[in-house]
Amino acid sequence: MKKKILVAVDHSLQALQAIDYVALMDRAIAHSHYTLFHVQPALSQYLTDEAQRKQKARKVLEKTMAANDAKARGILESAAQRMVRKGVDAKRIETVTVPVDIGVANDILAVGNAKPYDAIVVARRGVSSIQKWFMGSVTANLVEHSGIIPIVVVDGVVSSDKILLAVDGSSPALRALDHVTFMLSGHPKTDLQVLHVRPRIQDYCEIDITAEMAQDAETVLISDNQHCMADFRTQAQTVLKKNGFSDDRLHWETIDGKLAAARSILDYAARNGYGTVVMGRSGRSKSMFTGSVSRRLLHKAEETALWVVP
């Protein structure tokens, strides 16, 4: 089945790294078609107002718009050629540019929802640790406000096409499984690693409790987690069958959450050479894939692509 992927492109190095990631994953995602999309910068409101009254201002405005369009098309053509050099068929790439309308993130989402696309790829902006913590406003807005389309956030140079799905037994985690197995369907050689991090009592309770209370709570928590994951694995079979993804391509592992969930996931991915981490945007509780953990993953991941599934 055809997969449609919208790739947000600008003139930055980070955008080129996102393009390289898309080309890398093209060999894992079968039947993919790409739209490289660039939103042109906003025009001066003063110049726009003056152009309605004065012919000279109107000519300046037209020249500015033409220059922006030409620059945008140059950026997109360069990105498309980069993908072709890395092995992506040019027939599966199209380029689109528009002037900014309601804001870059909203314009990207509007185009993404119109088709609709199966994923939106965007680079995480910023090079310093402080910049990475806050991310770019466009990236943050896409992750926060995409109601349907998964957002793929690329940080740095991603060299591995191995994919890790982090799950907590929640409905969003099941949607993440549905999305990633759909994207990998039609490519029988791409496997998927599923990772479950056992929750810690510290993640649920921030106040000091006695050792006896902690032990009792831990027992209840472990039992609840086991039942939840058993139900999740049962429902996963239905998802796999729907997407034509054979069960032997799915590998499961559960680890103890000795560290915070986000750090445990990133450490596991780094140790085992996974370039992509897939997750639901929210989850069962604050200890797993709620906004807090997905945000930590987005802020702390380096040289990694994160698929955030609403």
pLDDT at 296: 85
Q: Report d(CA 191, CA 36) in Å as an integer.
A: 27
pLDDT at 299: 85
Query: Which of 128, 157, 186 lies at the terminal end of a domain, its last residue?
Result: 157
Same domain, 249 and 266: yes
Give how many domains the chain has, as a whole number.
2
Same domain, 90 and 188: no
Residues spanned by the domain of 73: 1-157
28 touches 187 (CB < 8 A): yes
Mean pLDDT by 10 residues, the chain (310 residues): 94 94 94 96 81 86 91 97 98 96 93 95 65 60 92 96 94 95 90 88 52 54 74 94 94 86 93 97 54 80 95
Same domain, 169 and 230: yes
Same domain, 114 and 128: yes
Residue 59: Cβ within 10 Å count: 11
- The closest of 305, 152, 162, 173 to 233, measured between CA atoms, is 173
Query: Which of 106, 138, 157 lies at the terminal end of a domain, its last residue?
Result: 157
CB burial of residue 211 (10 Å; 0-12, 13-18, 19+): exposed
Sign of the dihedral defined by the CA atoms of residues 217, 208, 282, 189, in that order: negative
pLDDT at 128: 40
Same domain, 133 and 223: no
Residue 233 sits in a domain of what CATH number?
A: 3.40.50.620
Same domain, 100 and 201: no
Same domain, 125 and 243: no
pLDDT at 121: 98
Alpha helix positions (H), the chain: 13-25, 45-51, 55-85, 104-114, 129-134, 137-145, 171-184, 201-204, 211-243, 261-272, 291-300
Same domain, 30 and 143: yes
Query: Which of 157, 173, 193 lies at the terminal end of a domain, its last residue?
Result: 157
Same domain, 234 and 250: yes
Strands 151-155 and 119-123: parallel
Q: Report d(CA 151, CA 160) in Å as an integer.
A: 19
- Cα torsion 192, 198, 204, 209 to 10°: value is -170
Same domain, 103 and 46: yes
pLDDT at 222: 58
pLDDT at 257: 73
